[in-house]
Structure 1
């Protein structure tokens, strides 16, 4: 299932290849592209900071610095006082050298020194672009740290991406600029949308500079786009009934863990599942039925009970409140033996991590939904190693365990046949129970007929968008129940007018 509205994301190397093809094949001169980039960045800066009195531009020795020199010339031509700080001379004969030469004809450049930005109110970060592959050092590291220290005092524009941020992993290469606005070019960089990327980039603006995105360069990932929801979740037929809307079975809720399975139940119903059955401890049935009367709660004390519960279901979601005791293990083993698609979360993931070979017993598709801690257990590494390269981590989980993998966190990743990144969501969603809600949502979409990978992508996007709606009342104190109450407006998208 390919959705044309999802946008391509590229690695640093792929972006450079797009740039090379534009110069050699269209052809667009390299310096012309540099000038286009500077015009786009300057326009975006003026839109947000009209009539600036002065700007400080910090330029590295490469093409990113060249963009800065062109922007400085444009700003000065518009009557703005410009101070340009150099971190090294461009190589002779390069576009950056040409940009410096054109700037030098109208303005002066000073060598960067510590403290020179002390009184800055608008700073343009043109130090490093996508070519950086190691931690900044020397004067460059000092400049990056000084710009970081200006957060809240000065408005920081990053050209292409914040200096020091990896365009591939979304993690700082040692230290990185924290920008208020990042204007990127040629191709959207994967690292701007996951890990620390969203936090360090601030507002993101993309300009393709007239370079086509379909020049034979396969993107590293796709960026999920809210506008695709009308295609993913079309309006139901007038003849729809509860059976055609899908039958979900949720397994979990060991003694003392009713909340997790209840969150998953409510979210599955609000995401549109026609019928939801909960296989949980018999002692919980009365409480759960009173809390969510629209669901069917079936006392499930053994693997045999569980097998009987899933006979007619379309999908099984297992894990919320499952526990890792004898009861949870029995249900998990029964789920592994079933021929039903699975959505696997929480303690089911921990049981899988304890017995990785159990994935070999699965013939039916599954969706794994780990947070970084669970992913670390699945891969036998540390959480820090997962977060250091989230893209590599989600791909490795998918490689080892198969199926579709959702790596939750800032810029949630979905890895199946392709890699997709969700740009939505907010820090208010960092609270217990949010993952249980996501499990129910994804299961509901599998039940409604979406294949596992599109169901995971759609579920992640719907979950994040509902969280953003709920966060309008404030991020701190946001609860999963707040998110669940916002699901209906997200899962009933209005098709765009032609």
Structure 2
């Protein structure tokens, strides 16, 4: 096993600091050597992504991240690039001070930056202002510099983390560097993959700095990055009863579309049978648009109870509403001893009437629903998505999906998986209804709650990416994902 085996492990900032200390104290690698390795890896990354670059500007902060920048600047000068270095404050710490001395001793010039300084025209900017240690908003001077860098329109290489992005949580409290590429060192930081961070990090490239496998021995990662996988081929003797029966519950007056999207996604997700419990006014539309769905007029709990013995999984919430009809069906579904996927008003009702679950349950809230479930505001969710999704899982005893850029999945044990796929085009109506149906279909086919949630989130996001590749992100609608979903589930697309 090599360090590349850890590429999909995600670490907190404190865990990465512990690995850094271990490399120094136990493996005997001096901190300055680690800085040199980081600078060399960053220069290689820069040349890989911008092979024609001849002029670069490097912006160095006072700490070790700035030290990485000084050493990168020195290596770039030696390689024949024209380099200009700008600093914010004096270097602090022996290694950072030594890095600045080496750059200046080699003939480099350092410019102190202020708002009156005009930035040079360069091919690439290098952000070495602040690393993982900064977990607050940028100071006004740094924020002004970041705005000037953005205004140039030139691409940015960020060292370890774009300055202003919280590498632990993915939050961006104010101004932040908009990187084209982020080269991150020693271990992947969990915050780079979720929340607001995906809008700032660009392409993330991890560099292990040639550290030996022993560094990771007994080091427990905080989370994992999802991998592309799918279900094994079905046996030839399989029949529709082998693949489960999803009962989708919802679609109050005027919301037939939500429950149809959920139910159709369950079909495309591989469920053998899919029934719909909905308002009678929707039956003609559902039967004509998708005759494979078994749509039922359910006017109350008694009618729903008649359908439950044939179901193996319930999908509750899309278009359900919070009125008397929806509430009655919600109570009936929650009292049934069946695996369950909860979304939309199924979650809003749960926030009003909390309960713990003792059977397989997956909930799929967006940040607003998560805030209601946890009794806080959406800012608190955004400030630490990892803490929020873990709290959802433990409080309700479920597998929780916290949707958004870099969707998170957590179980009650505290395990967390992060989705690296998806795109802004998926921010449109009906996408969450699809996810509910996909997860329900995977539960129906025998996945446990964790695997149904992680595979469902992955397939949903990857299908969105495939659909966007064929027609672009803007204008992407939920039904565009159904055919790519089917192909991905069968291992045809990648």
Work out whether the TM-score is over 0.5: yes
The CA distance in 1 between the partners of 2:302 and 2:324, in whole Å, is 14
Secondary structure of 2:242's aligned partner? coil
1:59-70 mapped onto 2 (5 Å cutoff): 59-70=60-71
Secondary structure of 1:310's aligned partner? helix
1:114-140 CA-to-partner distances (Å, cap 9, x unmatched) read: 233253442100011111132221533
The CA distance in 2 between the partners of 1:27 and 1:240, in whole Å, is 58
Deviation at 1:397, TM superposition (A): 2.0
The CA distance in 2 between the partners of 1:274 and 1:78, in whole Å, is 62
1:449-468 mapped onto 2 (5 Å cutoff): 449-468=446-465
1:390 aligns with 2:385: yes
The CA distance in 2 between the partners of 1:459 and 1:268, in whole Å, is 11
1:53-452 mapped onto 2 (5 Å cutoff): 53-92=54-93, 94-106=94-106, 107-114=108-115, 115-117=117-119, 119-150=121-152, 153-211=153-211, 212=213, 214-226=216-228, 229-230=229-230, 233-356=231-354, 359-360=355-356, 362-416=357-411, 417=413, 418-452=415-449
Deviation at 1:6, TM superposition (A): 8.3
Asked if 2 retains the 8 angstrom alpha-carbon contact of 1:158 and 1:181, the reply is yes
1:318-373 CA-to-partner distances (Å, cap 9, x unmatched) read: 001111111111110011111101100111111111112xx14x432211111111
**Which segment is superposed worse, 169-178 or 54-63?**
169-178
Asked if 2 retains the 8 angstrom alpha-carbon contact of 1:339 and 1:363, the reply is no
Distance 1:255-1:494 versus aligned 2 partners, 3 A rule = closer
Secondary structure of 1:244's aligned partner? helix
Asked if 2 retains the 8 angstrom alpha-carbon contact of 1:398 and 1:415, the reply is yes
Secondary structure of 2:218's aligned partner? coil
Deviation at 1:159, TM superposition (A): 0.3
Query: How many residues are paired up?
Result: 483
Structure 1: unaligned runs, 5 residues or longer: none
Deviation at 1:102, TM superposition (A): 1.6
Partner of 2:39: 38
1:221-243 CA-to-partner distances (Å, cap 9, x unmatched) read: 111122xx14xx11222222212
Distance 1:281-1:51 versus aligned 2 partners, 3 A rule = closer
1:78-108 CA-to-partner distances (Å, cap 9, x unmatched) read: 111111112223235x222222222122112
**Which segment is superposed worse, 109-118 or 459-468?**
109-118
TM-score scaled by length of structure 2: 0.94
The CA distance in 2 between the partners of 1:138 and 1:279, in whole Å, is 56
The CA distance in 2 between the partners of 1:303 and 1:6, in whole Å, is 49
The CA distance in 2 between the partners of 1:254 and 1:133, in whole Å, is 45
**Which segment is superposed worse, 212-221 or 70-79?**
212-221
Secondary structure of 2:405's aligned partner? coil
Asked if 2 retains the 8 angstrom alpha-carbon contact of 1:135 and 1:173, the reply is yes
The CA distance in 1 between the partners of 2:367 and 2:419, in whole Å, is 16
Deviation at 1:494, TM superposition (A): 6.1
Asked if 2 retains the 8 angstrom alpha-carbon contact of 1:404 and 1:453, the reply is yes
The CA distance in 2 between the partners of 1:216 and 1:138, in whole Å, is 41
The CA distance in 1 between the partners of 2:480 and 2:86, in whole Å, is 48
Deviation at 1:317, TM superposition (A): 0.5
The CA distance in 2 between the partners of 1:223 and 1:159, in whole Å, is 21
**Which segment is superposed worse, 32-41 or 63-72?**
32-41
The CA distance in 2 between the partners of 1:286 and 1:139, in whole Å, is 63
Distance 1:6-1:157 versus aligned 2 partners, 3 A rule = closer
